[in-house]
Amino acid sequence: MANIRDMIPAFELYQPTSVEAALDLLDEHRGRSWILAGGLDSFDWFKDRIKRPEAVIDLGGVEEMNGIREVENGIEIGAMTSLTAIERDERIRSRYSVVADAARHVATPQIRNQGTLGGNISQDTRCWYYRSGWPCYRAGGNTCYAAAPQAMNREHAIMGASRCVAVNPSDTAPALVAVDAKMIVENTGGPRVFDAEDFFIGPAIDITRMTVMKPRDLLTRIQIPATWADAHFYYEKVRDRGSWDFQLVTVAAAFQMDGGTIGDARIAVNGVAPYPVRLEAAERRVRGTSGDEAAANAAGELAIEGARALRQNDYKIPMMRNLVRRAVRSVA
């Protein structure tokens, strides 16, 4: 287990005021640095001495990464924008309410005031074996303690696992997948754009990362296209307590309606895999329907195809099925 100490290990603190300066610092320190956004996750890693970067790059002074802006064909959100700002922004509340709802479901008001969208998206998994310093696959070891026969794995994955059964912890991630958001990732070689569903990766691709970002990369902004503006949205998060807790299972959905019929749909769930899962088979099933009971039930069954429970988390299968049903029924 991790040794919790009173003092954080020493590091050099850098406070750039531009994206260019931040990227130069990432390039200079080449994998030995740590990006500090809201700091809510970072300080836990530091105080437990599991992460020991030589350089911490504080993005608090990079104004171009903060704020919500109208852009051609949509809205752009800086990665350093607080979750509270997103929750309260009238443009997001009225046109992309699923994103505002997702931000509102993160932890507590105090944490949302400090926490950022980029930080919520990019945070590492909350698996307690990994977080406590056990030498698991994700930490460079040779086993997954959470998958062992007698492990504590109530909150772990029921699909998408490949050696590691940890889940993605982000509340905003499935909402961004539902609205087909674009993630702009930059390094000194220039910007790249990823669809939200491709931005998150599983252990079969790289067991040490949860996103496409490598040590010299920086998520600078998120663009939400106008394609899904004013759609019918649904968001629901199930957790043990009404505040603070991370998700057990979350669903986020967007439905484009043609009268009383679903013309197009995007449905994503989180808390069930190492990445937010887009349910394309369920989406195909509900297109052309009114979101009736038969369509909702069929979508729920398609959602759980291939799910495999661990010793303590079999409840996630019916929970995921029912959340997808409720999302579809919400349009009826």
Q: Return the pLDDT at 6.
A: 62
In CATH, the architecture of 73-122+167-329 is 2-Layer Sandwich (3.30)
Predicted local distance difference test score (pLDDT) of residue 305: 98
- The reported pLDDT for the residue numbered 123 is 95
- What confidence score (pLDDT) does residue 307 get? 98
- HEC-encoded secondary structure of the chain: CCCCCCCCCCCEEECCCCHHHHHHHHHHHCCCEEEECCCCCHHHHHHCCCCCCCEEEECCCCHHHCCEEEECCEEEEECCCEHHHHHHCHHHHHHCHHHHHHHHCCCCHHHHHHCEHHHHHHCCCCCHHHHCCCCCHHHCCCCCHHHCCCCCCCCCCCCCCECECCCCCCCCHHHHHHCCCEEEEEECCEEEEEEHHHHECCCCCCCCCCECCCCCCEEEEEEEEHHHCCCEEEEEEECCCCCCCCCCEEEEEEEEEECCEEEEEEEEEECCCCCCEECHHHHHHHCCCCCCHHHHHHHHHHHCCCCCCCCCCCCHHHHHHHHHHHHHHCCC
Please tell me if the domain spanning 11-59 has the same topology as the one spanning 73-122+167-329: no
> Which pLDDT belongs to residue 50?
85
pLDDT of residue 245: 93
Task: Note the CATH number of domain 11-59.
Answer: 3.30.43.10
10-residue stretch averages of pLDDT, the chain, 332 residues long: 67 98 96 94 85 96 98 97 98 98 97 98 96 94 96 98 98 98 97 98 97 97 98 98 92 97 98 98 98 98 98 98 98 93
CA distances to 94, 179, 224, 230 from 227, in Å:
14, 8, 8, 9
**pLDDT value at residue 47:** 82
Looking at residue 2, its pLDDT comes to 52
263, 284 Cβ separation under 8 angstroms: no
pLDDT, residue 300, reads 98
* pLDDT, position 43: 87
* Domain limits, the chain: 11-59, 73-122+167-329
